[in-house]
Amino acid sequence: MNDRHGGERGLTVKVKSKQKASSRRWLERQLNDPYVRRAKAEGYRSRAAYKLIEIDDRYKLLKKGMRVVDLGAAPGGWCQVVVDRTGAGADAVRLVGIDVLPIEPLAGATFLEMDFLDDAAPGRLIEELGGAPDVVLSDMAAPTTGHRRTDHLRTMHLCEIAADFALRTLRPGGHFLAKTFQGGTENELLSSLKQAFSSVHHVKPPASRDGSVELYLLARGFKRRASPETEDGAENEAAE
């Protein structure tokens, strides 16, 4: 029998070990997660790939020939989806990803091992991409503390910085997708995005775990820039 995620329903795996209870619960969740099993079977680097697949299947963000920036790209699951759906390849790099963690090479992608909060990072991304992006993706999230309010604020800070980058660099008609957490402090960000995009709303793809507070903020149809300046000539590229 198949479950609703398309994986085979199997026996629940219980882990017996001397690890802490929280570590044991995490391991059990991984072992019993149908998306984890699918990712291994289908060659994706992480279960997160299915979040982007499900969002893109519904909203059609990624198209052949698009340039894409992926913020917080490690281990590269989203990048695999982007390369496949944009037709990027070794001779046509159309994706640049950035993360503080190393990422295994992927044909069609360039990876920067650096902190996106580094002042030099936005310029490097545009330089490596060779022009303004059509899509800015961000799966960045601050390490969780277990305190819901604190975790929300820290991840919202990253979301706001990613949004600022998108507003300064996106081509007209472009899209922005970023992880956030439920918590209700994003009104100012939402207001800014609604002025600059044709539509803005929250999305929770089926691949997001039921108990997770994560949401994705999706802004489609970029209309204008937040300021007359942009990173390293991206504005000139977008005007072509």
Q: What SS3 string covers 2-31?
A: ECCCCCECCCCCCCCCCCCHHHHHHHHHHH
- Single out the catalytic residue among 14, 16, 40, 179: 179
Contact status, residue 85 vs residue 152, Cβ threshold 8 Å: no
Percent of the chain having pLDDT more than 70?
76
Q: Whole-angstrom Cα distance, residue 130 to residue 25?
A: 44
State the average pLDDT for the chain: 82
Tens-digit pLDDT profile for residues 140-177: 987 666 776 777 778 888 999 999 999 999 999 999 99
Find all residues with CB under 8 Å of 42, minimum gap 6, and list them: none
**Spatial contact of 98 and 111, defined as CB atoms under 8 Å apart:** yes
Q: Residue type at 65? A: G
For the ranges 56-60, 103-107, 158-162, 221-225, which has the lowest average pLDDT?
A: 221-225
Is the model's pLDDT at 231 over the cut of 60? no
Confidence of residue 18 (pLDDT cuts 50, 70, 90): low
* 78 annotated ligand binder: yes
Q: What is the pLDDT of residue 32?
A: 64
Please tell me the predicted confidence (pLDDT) of residue 28: 54
User: Does position 201 have pLDDT exceeding 50, yes or no?
Assistant: yes
Is there a binding annotation on residue 89? no
Instruction: For strands 214-222 and 197-203, give the pairing.
Output: antiparallel
pTM value > 0.85: no
Closest listed residue to residue 69, CA positions, set 156, 161, 166: 166
**Beta pairing partners, 214:** 181
Query: Strand locations in 91-173, DSSP E?
Result: 95-99, 109-113, 135-138
* 33 is an annotated ligand-binding site residue: no
d(C-alpha 92, C-alpha 184), whole Å:
41
Is 139 labelled as part of a ligand binding site? yes
Could you give the C-alpha distances from 90 to 78, 81, 83, 125, in angstroms and in order?
17, 15, 10, 18
Structure tokens of 6? 């398309």
More confident residue, 148 or 187: 187
Determine how many CB atoms are found less than 10 A away from the CB of residue 191: 10
Q: Measured between alpha carbons, how far is 62 from 115 in angstroms, rounded to an integer? A: 25
User: Which of 18-32, 153-167, 211-225 shows the highest mean pLDDT?
Assistant: 153-167
Which pLDDT does position 47 carry in this prediction? 93
Task: Give kind and range of the element (H or E) at residue 166.
Answer: helix 148-169
User: Would you say 99 is a known binding-site residue?
Assistant: yes
Give me the pLDDT at residue 238, please.
39
51 noted as active-site residue: no
Residue 150 half-sphere exposure, CB side, CA atoms within 13 Å?
5
Better-scored residue on pLDDT, 121 or 12: 121
pLDDT at 235: 43
pLDDT for residue 240 = 39
Q: Which domains does the chain have, with CATH numbers?
A: 1-32 (no CATH), 46-239 (3.40.50.150)
